[in-house]
């Protein structure tokens, strides 16, 4: 019996529910995280014009970019992973400490091989904690003789009340490719980066941690990354917003993309080897303005490391 579109759509969404109105929703189309709610507050931006037709990439949440970042002569912009249906490897499961975990996977198939003729297997483990969302990614090359090279990036759309009030730490001194200025290379001089115009920058060799201020309800978001050397900062502002059919002309003030990835230094994966990377998003409230380190309490560090 053919699976109806409705049935397909219905079985395309997986919800991790930790209780206390803290949930994470993943669409199997691209294993795109389409919602992360902490105490009933949505942390991620999804456009009101986003398409959920199971074909186009979802405009918002956290699309999974692989094996190509950006334009691609062999296939779709930002690769095929975000427009391919993933498999639910392990359904949501409550862990001993109350956290909820689920595992998704993607393997090569006729469609992917028609674009990129390599065998691969990706596992994507998501863990929903009280105020944190953990992403653990493994890429495996099962081939006996062929290596392959790939980009990988988590295209995180943060929901913000007003992007002009956001500040991003951890980019000072880093070189960046500015896609708004013919991909010229510059060096960031600011202690905190702000966004007040069309911004599309690939920051290279960035530190493991960024703090974004003034996200939902004035809180802060800590992004901690491992084995993701680059950070992309993007906001389409006025003109680019109008060019996107799945993005409202008035929505740019309410989103900020801070994307951890392997962009400028693609990963080479030898036969029979694996690559791992991870990201942790932590929403926190801190009375101190910019210097998040003064918010750091001992137990934060112990908590952070227990899953690595």
Contact window for ligand TA6 (CB under 6 A) among 70-78, 92-100, 109-117, 292-300: 70-78
57 binds ligand TA6 (CB under 6 A): yes
Residue 200 Cβ, how far from ligand TA6 at the closest point, in Å? 5
Q: 69 or 118: whose CB is closer to ligand TA6?
A: 69
Of 188, 230, 251, 259, the residue at the interface with ligand TA6 (CB under 6 A) is 259
Q: 188 or 259: whose CB is closer to ligand TA6?
A: 259
Q: Provide DSSP, 142-201.
A: --SS--EEEEEEE--EEE-S-GGG--EES-TT-EEEETTTTTEEEE---SEE---S-EEE
**Can you tell me the distance from the alpha carbon of 110 to that of 19, in angstroms, rounded to the nearest whole number?**
39
CA distances from 288 to 283, 285, 295, 296 (A): 15, 9, 7, 11
234 binds ligand TA6 (CB under 6 A): yes
90 labeled part of a ligand binding site: no
3-state secondary structure of 304: helix
78 binds ligand TA6 (CB under 6 A): yes
77 binds ligand TA6 (CB under 6 A): yes
Q: Do 126 and 243 form a contact (C-beta atoms < 8 A)?
A: no
3-state secondary structure of 279: strand
**Can you tell me the distance from the alpha carbon of 250 to that of 259, in angstroms, rounded to the nearest whole number?**
22
Q: 56 or 94: whose CB is closer to ligand TA6?
A: 56
Q: Which residues contact 61 (CB under 8 A, 6 or more apart)?
A: 27, 32, 33, 34, 35, 44, 45, 46, 157
Write each residue from 136 to 175 as x if it is in contact with ligand TA6 (CB under 6 A), else as -, in one continuous string: -------------------x--------------------
Residues taking part in catalysis: 155, 259
Q: How many residues sit close enough to ligand TA6 to count as binding (CB under 6 A)?
A: 11
82 labeled part of a ligand binding site: yes
Of 38, 163, 223, 232, the residue at the interface with ligand TA6 (CB under 6 A) is 232
Q: 165 or 179: whose CB is closer to ligand TA6?
A: 179
77 labeled part of a ligand binding site: yes
Read off the tokens for 22.
């803290």
Q: Would you tell me which residues interact with ligand TA6 (CB under 6 A)?
A: 57, 70, 77-78, 155, 179, 200, 232, 234, 257, 259
């Amino acid at each position: 019996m053919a699976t109806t579109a409705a049935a397909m759509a219905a079985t395309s969404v997986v919800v991790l529910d930790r209780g206390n109105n803290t949930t994470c929703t993943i669409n199997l189309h691209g294993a795109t995280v389409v919602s992360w709610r902490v105490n009933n507050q949505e942390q991620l931006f999804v456009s009101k014009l986003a398409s959920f037709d199971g074909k186009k990439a979802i405009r918002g949440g956290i699309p999974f970019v692989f094996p190509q970042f950006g334009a691609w002569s062999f296939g779709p912009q930002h690769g095929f992973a975000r427009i391919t249906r993933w498999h639910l490897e392990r359904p949501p499961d409550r862990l001993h400490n109350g956290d909820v975990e689920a595992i998704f996977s993607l393997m090569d198939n006729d469609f992917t091989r028609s674009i990129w003729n390599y065998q691969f297997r990706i596992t994507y483990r998501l863990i929903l904690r009280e105020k944190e969302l953990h992403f653990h990614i493994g890429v495996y090359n099962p081939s006996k003789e062929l290596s392959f090279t790939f980009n990988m990036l988590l295209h995180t759309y943060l929901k913000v009340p007003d992007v002009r009030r956001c500040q991003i730490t951890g980019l000072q001194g880093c070189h960046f490719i500015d896609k708004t200025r013919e991909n010229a290379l510059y060096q960031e001089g600011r202690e905190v980066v702000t966004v007040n115009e069309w911004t599309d920058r690939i920051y290279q060799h960035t530190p493991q941690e960024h703090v974004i201020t003034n996200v939902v309800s004035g809180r802060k978001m800590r992004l901690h990354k491992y084995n993701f050397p680059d950070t992309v900062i993007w906001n389409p502002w006025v003109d680019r917003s109008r060019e996107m059919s799945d993005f409202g002309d008035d929505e740019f003030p309410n989103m900020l993309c801070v994307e951890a990835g392997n962009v400028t230094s693609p990963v080479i994966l030898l036969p029979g080897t694996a690559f791992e990377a991870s990201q942790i998003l932590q929403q926190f409230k801190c009375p101190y303005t910019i210097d998040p380190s003064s918010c750091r309490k001992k137990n934060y560090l112990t908590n952070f490391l227990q899953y690595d």
